[in-house]
Amino acid sequence: MTNLKINAMGLEFKNPVLSASGTYGFGQEFSEIYDVSVLGGICSKGLTLRERNGNTGIRLWETPMGLMNSIGLQNPGVECFINDELPRMKSYNTVVVANLGGHCDEDYFEGIYMLNETDVDLIELNISCPNVKSGGMAFGIKSAVAYEIVSKVRHICKKPLMVKLSPNAENIPEMAVACEAAGADGISLINTIQALAVDIKNRKAVFDNIYAGLSGPCVKPIALRMVRDAAKAVKIPVCGLGGIMSSDDVIEFIMAGATLVQVGTGNFIKPDIVPDIVRGLSEFMDREGIKSLDEIRGII
């Protein structure tokens, strides 16, 4: 029999397939479509210390084989998440991941202190946020800056810590090594790629913020390259995401070195895509005589 279980970062995942932050809310809407306990884990909507209303104007824009978004981290804030959303997420009988962002060190620290006192299983630290005290450059662009914030968070964080990397980083392998050296238990990548959409009729950018994040199948080849580069550079587990739409895509990421994966844009295109992916993964392993994903991980 095939074994889809994954032991990583001190946790047991029933399978390697997680929902990606920002594409699954907190799971409630999807729980009305299928049994979300089929997931290996659920990543929360991106959280900030305080509630955010998000960006104005158009927020989603379809592109060929992709989706652009400019949500602006709209979320209820950490305290509301803990009181209103987390109890329901824990009832889904899967690993619960809190995705936490911040615009300065203090935002991260306060959020971590609050999440420490909950039964969240894993914290995914989003270092793609602009650092307001450093002129707006994201924490995740320069390895030295990433090392500094991750090491500070690691010092106070009582939970397993997975750091989500930006594809806009200057050097992905160096960034992965810096996060590992700073004490991260795992890394996830890629986040969305900065992109531009133009409204030629009105002669302006589609989004109020000009640039937006591109995701979906069109970014998968880039994501695979970056996941492979990161997995070759570190010993900690890598969680791969970027354009996963099928079990075959999952296999590609695992062969590139991923231990876990996340499904994002696919949830918008086909809301019940995850059960299909998990089923297809098991069927592929049966068909190919693969007993454990360890047999094919990182073979590329």
Residues known to be catalytic:
129
Cα 81 to Cα 24, 41, 88, distances in angstroms: 14, 17, 10
> Distance between CA 137 and CA 129 in Å, rounded?
8
> Distance between CA 272 and CA 284 in Å, rounded?
19
> Distance between CA 6 and CA 220 in Å, rounded?
23
Question: Can you read off the two tokens belonging to residue 146?
Answer: 């990433």
- What is the C-alpha end-to-end distance of the chain, expressed in Å? 25
> Distance between CA 218 and CA 282 in Å, rounded?
25
Nearest alpha-carbon partner for 111 in 70, 75, 165: 75
Nearest alpha-carbon partner for 127 in 86, 206, 182, 70: 182
> Distance between CA 227 and CA 216 in Å, rounded?
16
> Hey, what's the torsion of the CAs at 5, 33, 192, 46, to 10 degrees?
-90
